[in-house]
Structure 1
Amino acid sequence: MLVARSALLFALAALAEIGGAWLVWQGLREQRGLLWVGAGVLALGAYGVVATLQPSAEFGRVLAAYGGVFVAGSLLWGVLVDGYRPDRWDVTGVAVCLLGVGLLMYAPRG
């Protein structure tokens, strides 16, 4: 249950941060306007809140592990939203990152 909750929080944090950054990008780079930028800023703030809900009290560990989730989420966002087609090295890199997340967050500690 604890791992499932943590994984869900990582997914929500990734959605908020990647989605927020994408909205800011769209607002500024694609000239969609300040409403897009404002929505992006709110989503980025939500990311910060969601990250604090992780069961682990170790800030450095949570943010380091989230880095791996961010890599995977960013690639997935590119596939779903921007039509990016990852190659085998992209997929391998994501697998290595997610293995690192598992070790950081869920390895048994004495």
Structure 2
Amino acid sequence: MEVIRSIPVFILAGLCEIGGGYLIWLWLREDKPWWFGLLGGLALAFYGVVATWQTSNFARVYATYGGIFIVMSILWSMKFDNYTPDKYDIVGALIALLGVCIIYYAPRN
């Protein structure tokens, strides 16, 4: 049940963090309107709130976000920047994802 509950929260947080950062990137690096930056800042602030919805401790939650964000960043870049990951990107992302799943979901006494 923990996995089923936590994964959508991780994905929502990833969308807020990556989407917010991307909007700020567009505003500052690609001369988009100021409101891109404002929306990006709001999304990043909401990411901070979403992270508190996880049931584990801070260390495990944020370590796991790191690995999930690696995968989501590659997927985001494929969709919005026409990025094509190479085999090292894919292998590295899978290793990171496996590692954080062990950190977060391993049974503990």
CA–CA distance in 1 between the matches of 2:76 and 2:4? 21
- TM-score of the superposed pair, with normalisation by structure 2: 0.97
Measured on the aligned residues, the alpha-carbon RMSD in Å equals 0.7
SS of the equivalent of 2:83 reads coil
The amino acid that maps onto 1:7 is I
TM-score by length of 1: 0.96
| Count of residues in correspondence between the two structures | 109
Question: 1:17 maps to what in 2?
Answer: 17
Which residue of structure 1 aligns with residue 106 of structure 2?
107
User: How far apart in 2 are the matches of 1:4 and 1:87?
Assistant: 30
C-alpha separation between the residues in 2 aligned to 1:7 and 1:72?
13
SS of residue paired to 1:55: coil
Query: What is the deviation of 1:33?
Result: 1.7
One-letter amino acid of the structure 2 residue matched with residue 69 of structure 1: I
For 1:87 and 1:38, how far apart are their aligned partners in 2? 33
Identity, % of aligned positions: 50
Runs of 4+ with deviation above 6 angstroms: none
**How far apart, in 2, do the equivalents of 1:108 and 1:82 lie?**
38
SS at 1:32's partner residue?
coil
* Structure 1 alignment gaps of length 5 or more: none
Following the alignment from structure 2 to structure 1, what is the Cα–Cα distance between the partners of residues 29 and 61? 31
Equivalent position amino acid for 1:92 in 2: V
Mapped partners of 1:83, 1:4: distance in 2: 31
In the aligned structure 2, how far is the partner of 1:7 from the partner of 1:74?
A: 16
Q: Which stretches in structure 2 are left out of the alignment for 5+ residues?
A: none
The residue aligned with 1:2 is 2
Map of 2:32 onto structure 1 = 32
User: Following the alignment from structure 2 to structure 1, what is the Cα–Cα distance between the partners of residues 68 and 35?
Assistant: 27
Per-residue CA deviations over 1:40-98 (Å, capped at 9, x if unaligned) read: 00000111011000011x10111011110111111110111111000111110010011
